[in-house]
Amino acid sequence: MTNPGLKLSHFDLDVWKRMAREDTKGWWVRQLTLNGNWGDPMMHPDLVEMLEF
């Protein structure tokens, strides 16, 4: 069930790349958890590209 007042959209791929490249510079990320708090991450059309990036 979705809220009719909310626009459904996917996380922006360019924002993801910026976060991976710049916002986490110097971090060592050992694990990434996709938990679905805001939708189903497995339904993102660019999921494979995001994880390979």
Cα 18 to the center of its chain, rounded Å: 11
For residue 29, is it within any domain? no
At 20, the pLDDT band (50, 70, 90 cuts) reads confident
Residue 5 one-letter amino acid = G
For residue 28, is it within any domain? no
At 48, the pLDDT band (50, 70, 90 cuts) reads very high
DSSP conformation class of 41: G
For residue 42, is it within any domain? yes
**Inter-residue contact 8 to 2 (CB < 8 Å):** yes
Q: Distance between CA 13 and CA 30 in Å, rounded? A: 21
By residue range, what is the domain housing residue 15? 9-22+35-52
For residue 27, is it within any domain? no
For position 2, what pLDDT does the model report? 73
For residue 2, is it within any domain? no
**Could you give the number of structural domains in the chain?**
1
